[in-house]
């Protein structure tokens, strides 16, 4: 009986304690700047980390489809690839220049801003860090509640001297509430 309980307890601990390695979901991904999409270009998918890498430029920032009070700013974003409505995997639709969820029809702008429901908030974002050549952190995504602090989860403007970005998929900033009527 004691052996059975010890084996059962060991199995529970094995599954309860996260065991993420660099380069897999729940871990940390370090990418050189050449891996970033150009400013205002289509997002780049990173399947191993389950995120989209977006480089918000002036055209994305000025997109007239942003609902009132849901503005963005230039910088780099890592957006979680799971729809906030019911957890489906959405995709980038270049024809419409937005993300669209095939399950229930939620639509999001390139920066993850919800423009059509049934989802009632923006897409979740991962923490992005700007690193110099020695690996020193030059800047980091602001963490916190995006409903209380609009800077939480905002795009990271890469400081001078940045040679790489680091995406921490273990640190997620929940998308800001955006449950108004469909706007697109």
Residue closest to 148 by CA, chosen among 109, 177, 119: 177
How confident is residue 13, by pLDDT bands cut at 50, 70 and 90?
A: low
| Tens-digit pLDDT profile for residues 29-71 | 999 999 999 999 999 999 888 999 999 999 888 888 878 877 7
Taken in order of first residue, the domains within the chain and their CATH numbers are 20-173 (2.102.10.10)
Q: Which residues of 147-164 are buried (b: 16+ CB within 10 A; e: fewer)?
A: eeeeebbbbbebeeebeb
* 0.85 surpassed by pTM: no
pLDDT score recorded for residue 77: 95
């Amino acid at each position: 009986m004691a052996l059975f309980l010890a084996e059962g307890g060991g199995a529970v601990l094995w599954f309860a304690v996260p065991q993420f390695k660099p380069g897999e979901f729940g871990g940390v991904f370090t990418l050189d700047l050449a891996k970033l999409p150009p400013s205002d270009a289509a997002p780049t998918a990173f399947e191993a980390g389950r995120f989209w890498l977006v480089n918000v430029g002036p055209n994305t920032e000025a997109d007239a489809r942003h609902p009132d009070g849901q503005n963005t700013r230039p910088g780099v974003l890592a957006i979680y690839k799971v729809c906030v409505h019911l957890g489906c995997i959405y995709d980038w639709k270049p024809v419409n220049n937005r993300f669209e969820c095939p399950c229930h029809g939620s639509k999001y702008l390139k920066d993850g801003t919800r423009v059509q429901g049934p989802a009632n908030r923006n897409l979740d974002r991962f923490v992005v860090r700007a690193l110099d050549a020695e690996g020193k952190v030059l800047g980091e995504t602001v963490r916190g509640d995006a409903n209380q602090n609009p800077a939480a989860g905002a795009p990271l403007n890469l400081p001078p001297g940045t040679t790489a970005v680091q995406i921490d998929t273990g640190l997620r900033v929940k998308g800001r509430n955006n449950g108004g009527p469909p706007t697109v």
